[in-house]
Amino acid sequence: MKLKRVVVTGLGALTPIGNDVNTYWDSLLKGVSGADFITHFNPEKFQTKFACELKGFNVLDYLPGKEAQRMDPCAQYAMITVMEALRDSALDLDSVDKRRVGVICGTGVGGFTAMMESAYAFYSNDYTPRFSPYLLLKVLADMVTGYISLKFGLRGPAYVTSSACASAGNAIGDALRLIQLGKADVIFTGGTEASIVETAIGGFNSMRALSTRNDDPKHASRPFDVDRDGFVMGEGAATLVLEELDHALARGAKIYAEVAGIGMSADAYNATAPNPSGLGAVESMTQALEDAEMRPEDVDYINMHGTSTPLGDLSECLAIQQVFGDHAEKLVLNSTKSMIGHLMGAGAAVESVAILLSMRDSLIHPTINVEHLDPKLPQNWNYALNGPVHRDVRVGLTNSFGFGGHNVTLIYKKFEE
């Protein structure tokens, strides 16, 4: 069976450095940091007092009050990016078969905010059980896609993937496969996360996973720097409109790029730490190249997982060295997380948007906050440390690795008929 070709025809983004795709991209190119002190709750007693929150965001600017009240921020963020991606794609939903239009979204946690707020209210009010009838609909992760399919009448595949920080990668990969196999014509896919809450910050602090650079939050997310001390929590979402090529061409759609391949693996090593050898990452990148029918030399740009953790950055570099060999010196590599923090389940989606815009503009955003490159990392690689890099990006690759040892690699390539 010959697989159908799949292209990206629309983008939506809601990030700590921009509440739409254009602002996000402009901020990435300028090297803007989204880190600042936490406002969602009082962080005074926490080891980490900062995160990458959305800025100037009011859900009522996007959704009616009653609709917003029924949704956890996790679902709100996804809905808003789907709305932007739909506009960008110029897809007329009334003119397509909605049985063949789906929505697949990744989230690592789901409705964490609603659960936290309800539990706090219960314990603060003398254990009085006054729960919202919408509580479980806010908490259940699957309602992220449930609400989207309801709003737009989408009757194709609709579900959530959850593999920690690889969630959006799995969602995009599933959407790719379903369209390739002819099971759908269009799928809205990506990831969302809204977990800047007390239990998440406190829990990650207990694991010693978060940066505690409270005296200088904007420079705390510093992938590849010798003084990196952990990741910075982020929030937001991104959506890609994946579309079968002939369907897109028939309606004269704008095409950002083609989705070329996916690789997936498990470390089977440790619940939280990556395999120091990078073995699982090697496997996911190798699979993705094979799926795309490409050689390592075909890749121009890698948007790294690059979380700013001592073990994670090192193991990913070791994996890239094993897969790409001497060609690694010719790549441009960067970390979007240096600016937006770690959006966890949404990571692969917001980073895919960065790759697709790099292809469009022949411009790769910088990695910020690297003052002293870790001597354990390859010193002759181009980590885009000195501002945007002008490069014709024909093939871009993004890695996402999650707690539990989940690894996903996605490859995009410039569209050619």
In a domain, 302, yes or no: yes
DSSP for 244-264 reads EHHHHHHTT----EEEEEEEE
In a domain, 143, yes or no: yes
- The whole-number pLDDT of residue 122 equals 81
- The whole-number pLDDT of residue 365 equals 98
Tokens linked to 277: 């050898």
The CA distance from 23 to 80, in Å, is 15
Q: Which of 85, 56, 71, 27 is nearest to 238 (CA)?
A: 85
Number of CB atoms found within 10 A of residue 207's CB: 12
Which residues, 6+ apart, have CB-to-CB distance to 141 below 8 Å? 74, 107, 109, 110, 111, 160, 162
Given the residues 219, 247, 342, 365, select the one marked as catalytic: 342
Distances (CA, A) of 83 to 21, 146, 238, 325: 12, 15, 11, 42
In a domain, 408, yes or no: no
Q: Which of 353, 380, 356, 141 is nearest to 238 (CA)?
A: 353
In a domain, 37, yes or no: yes
In a domain, 133, yes or no: yes
Q: Is 390 designated active site?
A: no
Q: Which residues of 122-131 are buried (b: 16+ CB within 10 A; e: fewer)?
A: eeeeeeeeee
CATH of the domain at 368: 3.40.47.10
Full residue range of the structural domain in which residue 362 is found: 7-403
Tokens linked to 42: 């009082």
Q: 301 by DSSP, 3-state: which?
A: strand
Q: Is 342 designated active site?
A: yes
The CA distance from 190 to 171, in Å, is 6
Q: Which of 137, 159, 161, 139 is nearest to 149 (CA)?
A: 159
Q: Is 247 designated active site?
A: no
**H helical segments located in 257-309:** 279-292
- The whole-number pLDDT of residue 1 equals 77
The CA distance from 55 to 15, in Å, is 8
- The whole-number pLDDT of residue 123 equals 80
Rg (CA), the chain: 20
Tokens linked to 306: 């690059």
Given the residues 74, 105, 247, 305, select the one marked as catalytic: 305
The CA distance from 263 to 173, in Å, is 8
Q: Is the pTM of this model over 0.85?
A: yes
Given the residues 52, 165, 365, 406, select the one marked as catalytic: 165
In the chain, the number of structural domains is: 1
In a domain, 227, yes or no: yes
The CA distance from 7 to 415, in Å, is 8
pLDDT in tens, the chain (417 residues): 789 999 999 999 999 999 999 999 999 999 999 999 999 999 999 999 999 999 999 999 999 999 999 999 999 999 999 999 999 999 999 999 999 999 999 999 998 888 888 888 888 877 777 788 888 888 899 999 999 999 999 999 999 999 999 999 999 999 999 999 999 999 999 999 999 999 999 999 999 999 999 999 999 999 999 999 999 999 999 999 999 999 999 999 999 999 999 999 999 998 888 888 899 999 999 999 999 999 999 999 999 999 999 999 999 999 999 999 999 999 999 999 999 999 999 999 999 999 999 999 999 999 999 999 999 999 999 999 999 999 999 999 999 999 999 999 999 999 988
State which amino acid sits at residue 51. A
State which amino acid sits at residue 363. L
Task: Judge whether 158 and 99 are in contact, CB under 8 Å.
Answer: no
Task: Judge whether 157 and 178 are in contact, CB under 8 Å.
Answer: yes
Distances (CA, A) of 22 to 269, 367, 398: 40, 19, 20
- The whole-number pLDDT of residue 141 equals 94
In a domain, 414, yes or no: no
In a domain, 77, yes or no: yes
